Structures are given as C-alpha cells and as structure tokens.
C-alpha cells in the first residue's frame, strides 16, 4: 500500500482526534476512524489506531486518575470484557452495517430522550446494574468492531448524573481497560502487524499532545454546557452511525 501525503495528513488528523477525545471531548474522538476510512477500510483504520488509543490512554489516565466512580468501573470492566470476547469470537460472521445501524438508531432515540426530558435535572444517582452490564457488553463489542463503544456506554452512564470530572475520568479508565484487552484478539485476527505498528508509532506524538489540549478545554467548559455538548454530540454521532450503516445495503 502506498501512503500518500493525503493519507498522512488524514492519519495525523485522526490521531489528534483520538488524543482530544481521550482528553474528554467525545464528539472529537468519534471522527478518528471515519477520517481514516476515507482512504482505507474501517477495519484497517481501527487496527492502525488501536496503539494510538492505548498510548493516549496512558496520558489521559495521568490527568483523570483520581476522578472515577468505582461501582460504574466494576460494571464496565465485566461488561466490556464479555463484549470484547464476543467480538473476537464472532468477528468473522458479524455484519458490520447491521450492528452500526442498530447502535445508531438506539443512540439517536436515547439522545432525543435526554434532550427533551432534561434527564440530568431529574437524575437520582442510582446505578442500574442490569442495564449497566448489558450496555457495557454492547460497548465492548462495538468498541472491538470499530472503536464506537462510546454511545452504548453513555446510554448507561448519562442518566446517573455524575459530575463532569467523574464522568470523564470513569470513561477514560473504562475505555483504557477496554482498549488494552482488545490487543489480544486484534493480534490474533491479524488486524495488528509490524507494518501497521510502525505507522502507529509515528502517530502517537500528535495524539499525546492532543490529550492535554482536550483536558484543558474540558476544564474550562462549565459543567451544564459540557453535558449539553455530550448529549448533542451523541445525537450527531448516532446520525453518522445510521448513515454509515445504511450506506452499505444501498450501495452508496
């Protein structure tokens, strides 16, 4: 595969998106794989960016290591582990566009509910463990398929009404774990190899710098505005997922 100037521009841009997303800006992170997918397959893009995600996780953990909810993390670790295992075992039979479309539709409806019901104003801070295990399992599965584990995870966590720092920190730790355990099945399935890893190394620097930019932006955004951005970002991401999904059967 020849890598043109345009390819490297998109690759660097995607790595910056990864870093800023790990810094706490969810809408930015969702642009990473689609950016790379303009020139290479989404599966190849996911494999190329996984090491970049993991290195970005390290820097994000240093910023948010004290801000997390232990109960949510316990549910996330168990659910995501099951989801990643299912993803690894079924990768050869999964119809990507169906999964993408379903997650997009569910996330779209949930985001609308959050917007119109003002759920944060009525949040009671109760954790629904059954709902949590299910959506974290879905999150681990979709994260394995295309690094799109954010929407299902937010369906579980947003209604709880966490503070901004706890929400971001718990998310960072949960997905740091998820990305780490994805390494084994990615290598097993051949999505990571020496050539792609060499390219990933070059993308780690801009991603790492972008993490701190994301952290700084999150700190200065008022908490009510931050969660409005998160919910509207989820709505936009869900529309993008639906569009990506239905484009395949329509041959677009």
Residues 6+ positions from 162 with CB-CB distance below 8 Å = 69, 72, 125, 170
* pLDDT over 70 at 27, yes or no: no
pLDDT digits (tens, 9 = 90+) for 109-131: 888 887 887 655 555 578 899 99
Residue 238 and residue 233: Cα distance in Å, rounded? 8
DSSP assignment of 43-99, as one string?
HHHHHHHHHHHHHHHHHHHHHHTT---HHHHHHHHHHHHHHHHHHHHHTTT--HHHH
In this structure, what is the dihedral angle of CA atoms 40, 43, 45, 51, given to the nearest 10 degrees?
Answer: -150
The average pLDDT across 142-157 equals: 84
How many Cα atoms sit within 13 Å of 235 on the Cβ side?
A: 12
Which of 25-34, 91-100, 194-203 holds the top average pLDDT? 194-203
pLDDT digits (tens, 9 = 90+) for 68-117: 999 999 999 999 999 999 988 887 787 777 877 887 888 888 888 878 87
pLDDT digits (tens, 9 = 90+) for 165-188: 899 999 999 999 999 999 888 888
* pLDDT over 60 at 192, yes or no: yes
* pLDDT over 70 at 156, yes or no: yes
The average pLDDT across 36-44 equals: 69
**Domain extents for the chain?**
5-250
In this structure, what is the dihedral angle of CA atoms 53, 58, 61, 62, given to the nearest 10 degrees?
Answer: -140
Residues 6+ positions from 174 with CB-CB distance below 8 Å = 72, 73, 76, 77, 80, 136, 153
The predicted structure's pLDDT at residue 70: 94
């Amino acid at each position: 595969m020849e890598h043109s100037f345009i390819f490297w521009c998109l690759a660097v841009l995607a790595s910056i998106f990864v870093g800023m997303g790990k810094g706490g800006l969810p809408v930015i992170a969702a642009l990473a794989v689609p950016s790379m997918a303009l020139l290479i397959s989404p599966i190849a893009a996911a494999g190329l960016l996984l090491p970049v995600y993991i290195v970005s996780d390290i820097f994000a953990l240093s910023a948010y290591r004290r801000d997390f909810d232990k109960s949510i993390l316990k549910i996330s670790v168990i659910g995501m582990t099951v989801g990643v295992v299912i993803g690894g075992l079924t990768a050869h039979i999964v119809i990507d566009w169906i999964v993408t479309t379903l997650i997009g539709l569910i996330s779209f409806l949930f985001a609308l509910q959050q917007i119109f019901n003002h759920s944060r104003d009525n949040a009671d801070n109760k954790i629904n463990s059954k709902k949590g295990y299910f959506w974290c399992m879905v999150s681990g599965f979709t994260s394995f398929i295309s690094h799109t584990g954010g929407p299902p995870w937010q369906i579980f966590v947003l209604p709880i009404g966490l503070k901004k720092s706890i929400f971001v920190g718990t998310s960072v730790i949960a997905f740091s774990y998820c990305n780490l355990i994805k390494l084994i099945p990615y290598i097993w399935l051949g999505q990571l190899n020496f050539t792609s890893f060499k390219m990933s190394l070059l993308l780690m620097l801009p991603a790492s710098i972008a993490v701190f930019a994301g952290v700084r932006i999150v700190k200065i955004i008022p908490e009510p505005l931050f969660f409005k951005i998160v919910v509207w970002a989820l709505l936009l991401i869900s529309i993008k997922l639906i569009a990506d999904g239905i484009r395949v059967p329509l041959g677009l």
